[in-house]
Amino acid sequence: MIPKETVGKILDSAQIVDVVGDFVSLRRQGANFIACCPFHNEKTPSFYVSPAKGIFKCFGCGKSGTAVGFVMEHEGLTYVEALKYLARKYHIEVVEKEETPEEIARRQRGESLLLVSEFASKFFRESLETPEGRTGYAYFRTRGLEDSTIVKFGLGWALSDRHSLLDAARKAGYREEFLIDTGLCYRRDDGVVVDRFHDRAMFPIHSPSGRVIAFGGRTLKSDKTVAKYVNSPETEIYVKSRSLYGIWFARNEIVRKDRCILVEGYLDVISMYQLGIHNVVASSGTSLTVEQIRLIRKYSANVTIIYDGDSAGIKAALRGINLVLKEGLNVRVVLLPDGDDPDSFSRKHTLQEVQDFLDSHEQDFISFKSDILLAEAGDDPLKKANLINDIADTVAMIPDAVKRSVYVETCSARFNISEAILFERIRRTREDMLLAERRQEEMARRREELASGISEAGTAGTTVAAVHEAPGDAVKLEDAFLAPCEKELLGFIVEHGQTPLEFDKDSEYHVKDDRPDTVAEFIDSALSADGVSFSNSAYRKVYDSYFEMYDAGLTQEQIQTRLMNSTDADMAAVTADLLVDKYMLTVENYRNSMTALATQLVIFVPKSLLAYQSRRLDKMSKELSSRLASSEDFAGQGDILAEMDRLNKTRILINKKLGRV
């Protein structure tokens, strides 16, 4: 376990913009930062980072939290693992207390696969220095790689002995099942466990956070019966379609240059990196996937794809363009001279020559497709018409209307065809393409409205707390009907709990003694007087935990920090969600036009309590109506009617105070 003092030091050091910026390309907007959300697919940014409050929030999918929560969600880590990640980032030494056997057992499965992969990476690196491994070292040198490059990328060698890694891992205390689960070893039909990689040059594959998650192994034999590459199978920590080779080394440079260069293979990345082009990643020999494109988009919206100049490279380029455009990225294509790939081209030329070539040979997709397909169409008018339709359909993939319009203008001039005809083709294509998406969005919107329980009884005018939205799907709410009001009250407590409520002397809420109630005390007193506690357990946990710390004398900021970094996922998610001020993030000028905070609280805190009481009365009335409908006891029906009449009179009084009819 990590000592509390160390945890505090980590939390104090972690800067939300710095941490999130390692994974997402942030753009400043006023006092905050925005980006497209890394947790769901979107083309219009709804992901906000508030450095002042130390939290992030996506208004699209609802995810929110602190720096620790972001690392947990993005990297799939536990709370302790996320703390360790941040400790490494900020060079904080973590000396853990001795763990119990139960704690070790709980932690082991989540971390074991990564630990085994990192052990294997170290084993392969060290094997490169053995007499047998000199073969691999010589291979890397013949490919023009310098020693510093070999070390940086962790290149290694898998020994020819089919049990070398297995035996070393066993000796080091790693369990056989995890060697098999990572794909480093496998069990043959005869039941014998052997190494998957043997007699091969090894390329470790890293996650965006720098953990080794998989390997690629290249044979140096010319035997055609031996596979040139053997790769790790997909595992819990490695999904090939979501991984990019070199992303750990390239991500900061991609953000800095606001451009990602995409190539195909391991050596393509390494050679270009060694030359001095550091914003380069590879799809690792697979066809480009949507998940890989979205991973790139976390760091930049601009991608340059380099393809080999042969026919296979051209076909691959044509396949990849539509996919990249549909995800909202700006794509340019570079075809290398026939016979070259990025690896060989980098080794033949200087950095300046390669950069000049890329700058002068980059093409937008219209120029690229036109040049390729026009050559195939020749003078055939039908083929030319199909070409124009093909390009128009590609333009239709672009989400941004302004960009589509610009490309239509370019296409119209290139092919001497009316813009109106192109727009009509694009309109029909987009209608077909977007129909299903619109239906899905509409259904999602309706589900969100139902979940939020929006009705007249829960909207106490336009309140400050009304800016809070429903928490993410991960937080379970047992009572959706009361949730909006409970969240509103909890929002006042978590945001402004220790702020005094200075009521006017003629107000019914005015306190005659010298010390006015704080927001937290006012709400707690009102709920306690009615014997009410929150119906939703997630809100109730935050409420109870808040007052435990409040009574212990912690400051508002200390309470907020502890709640946001709670090991209880629901408490952390609810608190982070409450602390995001949507008006501050999205409509900065709105706040400037509002009255002072003290005045807002005096007006809206009592109204929120009244709205909550009104909604509880609505719920009780519905329950009584249901009992009345099913009751066959005449005397019991009279009691129910009397209770309903009492509730109705109380509700009328509350509605008058709220200014309702």
Could you report the per-residue pLDDT of 307-332, keeping only the tens digit for each? 876 666 666 666 677 788 888 888 88
Mapping DSSP onto H, E and C, the string for 138-186 reads: HHHHHCCCCHHHHHHCCCEEECCCCCHHHHHHHHCCCCHHHHHHCCCEE
In tens, the pLDDT along 122-139 reads: 999 999 999 999 999 999
Strand partners for 28: 33
Cα 466 to Cα 228, 582, 585, distances in angstroms = 61, 10, 14
Mean pLDDT for the stretch of residues 641-652: 69
Residue 310 makes CB contacts below 8 A (sequence gap 6+) with: 338, 339
pLDDT value at residue 656: 63
Higher pLDDT, 489 or 209: 489
SS3 content of the chain, % helix, strand, coil (to 5): 55, 10, 35
Rounded Cα gap, residues 216 and 201, in angstroms: 8
Rounded Cα gap, residues 197 and 87, in angstroms: 33
Rounded Cα gap, residues 393 and 365, in angstroms: 12
Rounded Cα gap, residues 411 and 395, in angstroms: 9
In 3D space, the residue among 353, 357, 316, 351 whose CA is nearest the CA of residue 337 turns out to be 357
Cα 113 to Cα 108, 119, 186, 207, distances in angstroms = 9, 10, 14, 13
In tens, the pLDDT along 334-358 reads: 988 888 889 999 999 999 999 999 9
Angle between helices 266-275 and 351-361 (to 10 degrees): 110
Higher pLDDT, 628 or 144: 144
pTM over 0.75: no
In tens, the pLDDT along 366-379 reads: 888 777 777 777 77
Highest mean pLDDT among 198-207, 278-287, 297-306, 422-431: 198-207
pLDDT value at residue 601: 84
Higher pLDDT, 51 or 657: 51
pLDDT value at residue 464: 33
Which pair of structure tokens corresponds to residue 373? 């397909």
> What residue has token string 């794909």?
183
DSSP 98-121: PPPHHHHHHHHHHHHHHHHHHHHH
Per-residue pLDDT band for 633 (boundaries 50, 70, 90) equals: low
Contact 21, 57 (CB under 8 A): no
Q: Is the dihedral of CA 75, 398, 254, 357 positive or negative?
A: positive
Per-residue pLDDT band for 43 (boundaries 50, 70, 90) equals: confident
Higher pLDDT, 624 or 486: 486
Contact 426, 395 (CB under 8 A): yes
pLDDT value at residue 326: 82
Rounded Cα gap, residues 331 and 303, in angstroms: 5
> What residue has token string 């400051």?
555
Per-residue pLDDT band for 452 (boundaries 50, 70, 90) equals: very low
Mean pLDDT for the stretch of residues 619-631: 71
Percent of the chain at pLDDT exceeding 70? 80
Contact 203, 217 (CB under 8 A): yes
| Structural domains of the chain sorted by starting position, each given as residue range(s) with its CATH number in brackets | 4-89 (3.90.580.10), 110-237 (3.90.980.10), 239-361 (3.40.1360.10), 367-432 (no CATH), 456-658 (no CATH)
pLDDT value at residue 95: 74
Contact 560, 574 (CB under 8 A): no
DSSP 529-580: HTT---SSHHHHHHHHHHHHHHHTT--HHHHHHHHHT-SSHHHHHHHHHHT-
Contact 81, 106 (CB under 8 A): no
Mean pLDDT for the stretch of residues 235-261: 88
Pairing of strands 302-307, 330-335: parallel
Mapping DSSP onto H, E and C, the string for 316-354 reads: HHHHHHHHHHHCCCEEEEEECCCCCCHHHHHHHCCHHHH
pLDDT value at residue 472: 42
Which pair of structure tokens corresponds to residue 257? 């240059």
| Residue 204: strand, helix, or coil | strand
Higher pLDDT, 437 or 155: 155
Mean pLDDT for the stretch of residues 443-454: 50
Residue 177 makes CB contacts below 8 A (sequence gap 6+) with: none
pLDDT value at 172 more than 90: yes
Per-residue pLDDT band for 557 (boundaries 50, 70, 90) equals: confident
pLDDT value at 661 more than 50: no
Highest mean pLDDT among 27-41, 209-223, 589-603: 209-223
pLDDT value at 228 more than 50: yes
When the pLDDT of each residue in the chain is averaged and rounded to a whole number, the result is 81
Contact 345, 338 (CB under 8 A): no
Q: Is the dihedral of CA 97, 98, 101, 106 positive or negative?
A: positive
pLDDT value at 458 more than 60: no
